[in-house]
Amino acid sequence: MSVNIAIDGPAGAGKSTIAKLLAKRLGYLYVDTGAMYRALALYMVEGSITLSDEEAVVAALPQVRVTLAHLDGEQHVYLNDRDVSKDIRKEEIGNAASAISGYPAVREKLLSLQRDLAKAKDCIMDGRDIGSFVLPDAQVKIYLTASSGTRAKRRYDELAAKGESPDLARIEEDIIKRDEQDKNRSISPLIVADDAVVVDSSELSIDQVVERITEIAAEKGVL
């Protein structure tokens, strides 16, 4: 049986950074489920489909094929065979992904892809509902969080390093709005799974978080 480590938590908690490093350290596959939602959202945004119109979004789903490939340890996401790994990283697409992720048909479309990947390989999968719903039998479940102020500041620094001129207050507002949307949707909301260990990264460095999760995995007997 494959080993599965689920890392859930709100936007900007550092899930992907941590999950990538851990996957490298353990030799596991890294699966970023947010990227799958983002790829679907990109299709809707590019096709000018109104995100609040569930019927229109659901009607478009059969035209969309999301696939993943791992090249040199990096996850690449394809939208109808086009590599959209970079295009999906815009804030607008993250917000759009959050907006459509409450529709049952959207979640259903991605569920089997996620479960099949986890069955086939030892993996670290990050998202919102991995420990609570997608992989209820994952051997290790982490809920990685940080204060909204810390998350906004990290995002601000990332954008500033790319030469952009971000607005910190606006970023924090967006983060809070996205948290609310992700936590309050009726289907697969962001929650702490019963058997998840909460790790608050507000005061921890990336290395410290990686160490902490490695310790938790060792305590659970998977390493």
In sequence order, the 6+-apart residues with CB closer than 8 A to the CB of 23 are: 29, 30, 73, 123, 124
Cβ pair 100, 160 in contact under 8 A: no
| Beta pairing, strands 74-79 & 197-200 | unpaired
Give the torsion sign (CA, 151, 100, 29, 91).
Answer: negative
Residue 134 is classified by DSSP as: I
Cα of 182 vs its chain's centroid, Å: 11
Which is closer to ligand DC, CB of 151 or CB of 212? 151
Which is closer to ligand DC, CB of 140 or CB of 221? 140
What's the CA gap between 68 and 77, in Å, rounded? 5
Query: Exactly one of 28, 37, 43, 103 binds ligand DC (CB under 6 A); which one?
Result: 37
Residue 127 lies near ligand DC (rule: CB under 6 A): yes
What mask of x and - would describe binding to ligand DC in positions 149 to 178, judged by CB under 6 A? Answer: -----------------------------x
Give the containing element (helix H, strand E) for 4: strand 4-8
Q: How far is the CB of 62 from ligand DC (least distance, A)?
A: 20
Residue (of 3, 4, 22, 29) closest to 199 by Cα position: 22
Q: How far is the CB of 168 from ligand DC (least distance, A)?
A: 18
Q: How far is the CB of 60 from ligand DC (least distance, A)?
A: 17
Residue 38 lies near ligand DC (rule: CB under 6 A): yes
Cβ pair 168, 153 in contact under 8 A: yes
Query: Exactly one of 109, 128, 141, 212 binds ligand DC (CB under 6 A); which one?
Result: 128
Residue 70 is classified by DSSP as: E
Q: How far is the CB of 2 from ligand DC (least distance, A)?
A: 18
Q: How many residues bind ligand DC (CB under 6 A)?
A: 15
What mask of x and - would describe binding to ligand DC in positions 129 to 148, judged by CB under 6 A? Answer: xx------------------
Interacting residue ranges for ligand DC, rule: CB under 6 A: 11, 33-34, 37-38, 94, 97-98, 101, 127-130, 178, 182
